[in-house]
Structure 1
Amino acid sequence: MTPEAKGGFRLDRELDRNWLRWMALFWFCVVAWFLHDRQGNIYWLLLGDTDDNMRLMQVRAWLAGQGWYDLRQYRLDPALGGFDIHWSRLVDLPIAGLILAFKPFVGTATAEKWACGLAPLLPLALAMAGLSLAVRRLVAPWAWPVALIVLMGCASTMSMFAPMRIDHHGWQLAFLAMTVAGLADPRRARGGAVVGLSSAASLTIGLEMLPYCAMAGAIIALRWIWDRADVRRMQVYGLTLGGGSALGFALFASNANQAMRCDALTPVWLTVMVAAGALLFALSLCNPADRRLRLALAALAGAAIVAGFALLFPQCLGRPEQVSDELANTWLNNVREARPIYKHAFKTAFPMAVLPVIGILGALFATWRARRGEALVGWAAVALFTAFAGAMLLWQVRAAPAAQLLAVPGSVALLAVAVPWFLGIRAPFARWIGEGPARLLGILVRVFGTVFAFLLLSGLWAGLVVPFFSAGNDARPGKPAPPDKVAAANAACARMSNLRVLDDVPAGIVFTHVDLGPRLITVTHHSGIAGPYHRNGRAILDVHHAFTWATPNFRPIAAAHKAQYLLVCPDMSETTLYRSRGPNGFYAALAKGQVPNWLEPVPLREVQPGKPLPFKLWRIRYDLPNAPPVPAKR
């Protein structure tokens, strides 16, 4: 397919020569649309989840003078020294830069809002560039706009780049896209450098993409095993992976990450990355001619890494979070994103899985088509990477953004075959129906066939068919499904206009749900007890124990954290666990209206007259005896 217009202008040539300029324009249009569509979220500082709120608090603390290597959040559990966060400051840099740039013109509060709106769109540009480079190298130089259009339909992926999603996932996806570009790069040294640096940057941010980084390294080693001419790619990859990881550790590893932990780029994983890079570099110096010997040496190097890891860091052979069994069963195992895709509802799982399946099939098809061409090795690498990402969905559904992102090249490969085929149809069945009707039929086939092919091979059809298969059982014909009380409570209790009412009360330490803690400290002047961060297992368990154990146990737990207030959001998702695990516990009693005498109601003004606030606030009285709960009013 080589579109051409009159006057000698060739669209395919223009898309090839000036692709970066046109891609930047495409990105700018996406940014403009996103900012317009999400202006309400920006105005109300409606951050996506707990991590986005905590990220903003981390940036605020740094700009307020907290140390570069001190990433503790001192407004969560301040009585016990604050919360230990396993992140790095790499992602803080663009957010802080935007705040400082906007602050002189609009003030701090508005600067934060616009920084949170714009920051997630910066890695989107890098992700677009990575995918564009990959399809230019593997499909055709003019195919990159198709990749970007397919990307726009990747709901799980694009949600990570939406305004207010300031946490690190967008940047890690961007580096993953650059990894694909490096694997597809025919220039070996440059491709190895891109993969190595992208992996190092991703690991500096966090270990979420560690499996993908390991797979990328394995693919580079496999390319060398297959073709010793690829030695330069592996050599440069080993140097940049080890050197980049060491630089990332030196510049961004927090004080807490200097310990031998397993959940971040600590000395544990720094040792692994430097050793892996050094071994790959050593293999590149040997570079034997015999393929079987190369395979044996690579296997030996891999075994050495695994054995060394097991011997030196046995504490990391289990879960990287290193949480207790009680914390895992009480909290971590209940995180929905950590469940396999087949344990999710059809309406959730199906749209996530369709494009990865298409991408895998497309990459395999493209590999087969290139079996006698120069693109064979590049497509084989991308096919392996895409299949690996799809398989990760069987482990955790949080792999969906990466799986959809990596499926884009395979989808484009199928579209590059199907769409030209439909556009090439001119006058079908002319022999039987005549020239005129056949031409009309050809026009219809070209138009509707192209649309059908695009909807099918881009995966966009998945979202269109889900409503027909996932209608709620509670909905009656002609009537909408009943509202989700849990979702409504989650939204209402996190709303800025509601939480700001709490600033009418003198600042103090508020005992509240784990998932509400980060939002509370972001929007109000109060401090909290806990947030959903695994290094702080004691605080998380204390919150769960306080709400699920019997009422007399609450005050000793709250006193240990010097809590002054109790904030409860009825029907919030976390409270469903309290009720199921402690049917006779403290929260269940509160839900029934059985309030102990040592909880003093704090009157709060209504945001909207006549509409009560979605949460309840009490002052904890430690000076009163532990009397039985007040019976509920009838």
Structure 2
Amino acid sequence: MSTMPAWAETKDQIRSAPAARRDPMGAAMAAGGLLALASMAPEAWSVASRGTFLNPDDAMRAVEIRDFMAGQAWFDLVPHRLSPDHPFVMHWSRLVDAPLAMFVWLFGWVMPAAAAERAMRLTVPALLFLTSLWTILRIVRSLIGPRAMVPAALLTASSFELLANFMPGHIHHHGIQVTLLLLATAALLDAVGPGGKPVQGAWAGFLAVLSLGIGLQNLPFVIGLVSVAVTGWIVAGQRLPRTLAAFALSLGGGAVVVFLLDVPPQSYGEGACDAFSTAHLFFAAGTGVVCLGLAIASPRLPRAWQRLAAAALGGILVILGLAICYPACLHDPMAGVDPLLRQAWLSGVGEALPLARLIVLSPAEGIVLLLTLVSGCAATVLAMSKADAGRRGPWAALLLLAGIGVAGTCWQVRVAASTCALLVPGLALLVLNVFDHMARRPHRPALLVAVIVGCLGNGGGWSALALPMRVLATPHPSASRGSVSICFDPASFDRLKTLPPGLVLSTIDPGSAILAFTPHAVLAAPYHRNAYGNRVSLLALAAPPDDAHAMLRDAKVRYVALCRSSNETAETVAAHPDSLSAALMAGRTPEWMTSVSGEREAFALFRVD
């Protein structure tokens, strides 16, 4: 075994290595895939055998795909059974629905419709995870060498934060966004590195704007990718104008294509801030024009400071244009959410919590995530400091993107998955060098020490250390709001499915599953644009029975469904002991309602007479 540290391994050494060592991609993919499969087998079986939805967004995405395949128009993104008397347009994209529907259609040639949908829900997350794993391994091979690929695969497959987006059945857009970010990052690192080709820059620009069309959660990372492309041009001088031009044309041109596919003609003048709109077309196309201008002007900007000044001026122009034309989109995209919904619902959604708030509400979970990010960033900084001149730039780019991810995680913890993926290369290098260092001391358990270091670089190791704290600490209910409960079990809806179709009032989280498993319409579901339905749900369930009766009558509610094990129900009962929810949970059914469920059923069901 070589005693040379991994960060000193050169490309010449890699090329001269035996074939098995030179490209262990197959072994690394197999190791990562098998480890991930083993950890997710129970969820896969639940989806395959019973059709379980592990997340409200997965259920809602299935409903949207079914409606699309049943003939709902491409630009019609209104969920017609959700708050039917006060319809709204979902902020999601057909760019996700279309490929998922294609998988259902393909599987439908050889199996019944329900089985085809389950097959799609198992296949798509697996393909996305394997694509993400392959992309991470590509980055690792480029920055470190082939020896780090197996450790990187194992780190990827044992990262709780990352795997959460690729669980069996997960068909919401988060997994797709992580994959697109990794693909764009890999392409751009290749494009700005030695020997990079313009086509790689074009690929990075297209993937970046495609991710914006699907959802805006990658917007900070897209800004980071633009920064990497421009910084590479500033530093490299005349070597990268064609690459920057290709990136610019793909970013701007792709934005136009995505806009035409995402936005209906009647909405061209709207500057929505929570979904791809004219405002984001302005940003992407404007950035593309600026970058193209920089590339064209390269011969007249021979010095680095001149290129830096030109880039800064271009960035200021784009930001100034956004501030003038779409000032609201420079602030929180959720700023327009009803204050009641923000306080009583959105502020308690687990994935939308700031990291500091998560640490307060669920110390074990929050501290594990914090330690994961800190250790990963430290490993990446160490890797950058030890890298040779040719690789220091890509490491710095990776660190920049990871830093953006850490800042995003401090705002909303949902960003942690992408961040942890970007930290894998640095951790893999650390593990490899610890192993090499310990291997030179024959009395030291090198493999064990390397495994321990690797585990402490992701959620798995820190979670094991935090297990006593998890057992002793009781997390605040808000920390887990939106997580799977017994009321997402398909059997929980058996009674409700037998009732004649009508409008159901429930707490917010189960609304998507009610739509997915029953023919009923619902008032509430966990989507911020559903202002009317969610507001009625919160107010009616917290109001005294007589006041609630008037609200339900005005909203044309036919059934009330309360999940007995729901945190939402428990919080409402605790905060409003005289409410309709409290009365129903205590068995005090008002005279204007009739119970239609048994005492042991997951849902307490009532018909409004």
TM-score by length of 1: 0.85
Matching of residues 145-156 of structure 1 within 5 Å: 145-156=150-161
Partner of 2:370: 353
User: How far apart are the structure 1 equivalents of 2:289 and 2:504?
Assistant: 50
Q: Does 2:228 correspond to 1:219?
A: yes
Letter in 2 for 1:445: P
Aligned counterpart, 1:336: 350
Amino acid at match of 1:302: G
Q: CA, structure 1 residues 450+588, in 2 after alignment: closer, same or farther (shift >3 Å)?
A: closer
Q: Distance in 2 between matches of 1:262 and 1:106?
A: 41
Residue 263 (structure 1) aligned with residue 242 (structure 2) = no
Match of 2:606 in 1: 618
2:207 maps to 1:198: yes
Residue in 2 that maps onto 1:210: 219
- Does the Cα contact within 8 Å between 2:23 and 2:146 map onto a contact in 1? no
Bigger radius of gyration among the two: 1
Task: Kindly report which structure 2 residues correspond to 1:555-566, keeping only aligned pairs within 5 A, or say none.
Answer: 555-566=549-560
Q: CA RMSD in A?
A: 2.8
Equivalent-residue separation in structure 1 for 2:111 and 2:207 (angstroms): 35
Measured against aligned partners, the alpha-carbon deviations of 1:428-460 in whole angstroms (never above 9, x if no partner) come to: xxxxxxxxxxxxx3xx53343444444345564
Q: After superposition, what is the alpha-carbon deviation per residue over 1:131-160, rounded to whole angstroms, capped at 9, x for unaligned?
A: 111111111134222211110111011111
1:491-513 CA distances to partner (integer Å, 9 max, x unpaired)? 22221112122122112111111
1:504 aligns with 2:530: no
- SS of residue paired to 1:568: strand
Once the two structures are superposed, residues 530-588 of structure 1 have per-residue CA deviations (whole angstroms, 9 ceiling, x without a partner) of: 21111121211111111122323323332333221111223412124423553433323
Residues 71, 376 of structure 1: alpha-carbon distance in 2 compared, 3 angstrom cutoff? same
Q: What does residue 631 of structure 1 align with?
A: none
Shift of 1:600: 1.9
Amino acid aligned to 1:161: F
Secondary structure of 2:90's aligned partner: coil
Query: CA shift at 1:276, angstroms?
Result: 0.7
Corresponding position of 1:567: 561
**Which moves more between the two structures, 269-278 or 584-593?**
584-593
Question: How much does 1:36 deviate?
Answer: 4.4
SS at match of 1:52: helix
Partner of 1:323: 337
The residue aligned with 1:477 is: none
Any stretches of 5+ residues in structure 2 without a counterpart?
4-14
Q: Retained in 2: the 8 A contact 1:260–1:266? A: yes
Q: How many matched pairs?
A: 583
Q: 2-side partners of 1:206 and 1:590: how far apart?
A: 39
Give, in whole Å, the separation in 1 of the partners of 2:439 and 2:267.
Answer: 56
* 1:79 match: 85
* Contact residue 29 and residue 153 of structure 2 kept, 8 A: no
Q: Which residue of 2 aligns with 1:39?
A: 45
Q: Does 1:418 align with 2:434?
A: yes
Q: Are 1:200 and 1:245, in contact at CA under 8 Å, matched by a contact in 2?
A: yes
What is the alpha-carbon distance in structure 2 between the residues aligned to residue 308 and residue 171 of structure 1?
A: 30
Residue in 1 aligned with 2:471? 471
Greater shift after overlay, 573-582 or 612-621?
Answer: 573-582
- One-letter amino acid matched to 2:83: D
Cα gap change, 1:180 to 1:68, in 2 (>3 Å): same
Change (3 A) 1:515 1:456: closer
Tell me whether 1:157 sits opposite 2:162 in the alignment. Answer: yes
Q: CA deviation at 1:233?
A: 3.1
Deviations 1:309-331 (A, max 9, x none): 11101233433132233332232
- Kept in 1: contact 2:559–2:606 (CA 8 A): yes
- Whether the aligned pair in 2 keeps the contact of 1:359 and 1:386 (CA below 8 Å) is no
Mapped to 1, the partners of 2:420 and 2:440 lie a distance apart of 29
For 1:133, the equivalent position in structure 2 comes to 138
Letter in 2 for 1:128: L
Name which of structure 1's ranges 330-339 and 203-212 shifts more when overlaid on structure 2.
330-339
Quote the offset at 1:202 in angstroms: 0.9
For structure 1, which segment, 556-565 or 26-35, has the greater mean C-alpha deviation from structure 2 after superposition? 26-35
Q: Secondary structure of the equivalent of 1:119?
A: helix
Q: Is the 8 A contact 1:2 1:11 kept in 2?
A: no
In the TM superposition, residue 90 of structure 1 has moved relative to its aligned partner by 1.8
Aligned twin of 1:249: 259
Shift of 1:42: 2.5
Alignment equivalent of 2:244, drawn from 212, 230, 234 = 234
1:52 aligns with 2:68: no
Cα displacement (A) at 1:514? 1.4
Change (3 A) 1:56 1:369: same
Q: 1:517·1:529 contact (CA, 8 Å) conserved in 2?
A: yes
Asked if 1 retains the 8 angstrom alpha-carbon contact of 2:84 and 2:521, the reply is yes
Question: Quick one: distance in 2 between partners of 1:273 and 1:513?
Answer: 38
Provide the residue aligned with 2:19 in structure 1: 14
- Contact 1:183–1:381 at 8 Å: present in 2 too? no
Residue number in structure 2 paired with 1:455: 455
* Aligned partner of residue 217 in structure 2, secondary structure: coil
Counterpart-to-counterpart distance in 2, 1:325 and 1:491: 27
1:111 deviates by 1.5
SS of alignment partner, residue 323 of structure 1: coil
Counterpart in 2 of 1:397?
A: 413
- Alignment of 1:591 with 2:585, yes or no, is yes
Indicate if the aligned counterparts of 1:490 and 1:572 stay in contact, CA closer than 8 A.
no
> Partners in 2 of 1:364 and 1:349 — Cα distance?
23
The AA in structure 2 aligned to 1:578 is T
1:175-203 alpha-carbon deviations (Å, 9 max, x no partner): 11113312421215244223212211211
Distance 1:451 1:564, change over 3 A: closer
Whether the 8 Å CA contact 1:347–1:470 is kept in 2: the answer is yes
The answer as to 2:172 corresponding to 1:167 is yes
Aligned partners of 2:256 and 2:281 also within 8 Å? yes
Supply the distance in 2 between the matched residues of 1:98 and 1:405 (Cα, whole angstroms). Answer: 26
Distance 1:230 1:176, change over 3 A: same
**Offset of 1:33 from its aligned partner?**
4.4
Amino acid corresponding to residue 374 of structure 1 in structure 2: G
- Greater RCO between the two (CA within 8 Å, min separation 6)? 2
CA distance in 2, matches of 1:214, 1:574: 37
State the AA in 2 paired with 1:300.
L
Deviation at 1:15, TM superposition (A): 4.9
Q: Secondary structure at the match of 2:389?
A: coil
Deviations 1:379-415 (A, max 9, x none): 1111221222123222221122112111101101212
Contact 1:511 1:528 in 2 (8 A): yes
8 Å contact from structure 2 (residues 496, 518) kept in 1: yes
Structure 1 residue 64 and structure 2 residue 75: aligned?
A: no
- Structure 1 unaligned segments of length 5 or more: list them: 4-9, 427-440, 475-480, 622-634
Q: Using a 3 Å threshold, how does the CA distance of structure 1 residues 155 and 118 change in structure 2: closer, same or farther?
A: same
SS in 1 for 2:607: strand
Distance 2:455 2:29 in 1: 25
Aligned mates of 1:78, 1:264 — CA distance in 2: 22
| 269, 282, 287: which one aligns with 1:276 | 287
- 1:11 and 1:32 map into 2 onto residues whose CA distance is 34
Q: Judge conservation of contact 2:507–2:562 (CA < 8 Å) in 1.
A: yes
Q: How does 1:284-303 map to 2 (within 5 A)?
A: 284-287=295-298, 288-303=301-316
Deviation at 1:87, TM superposition (A): 0.5
Contact 1:494 1:519 in 2 (8 A): yes
Give the CA deviation at 1:343. Answer: 2.1
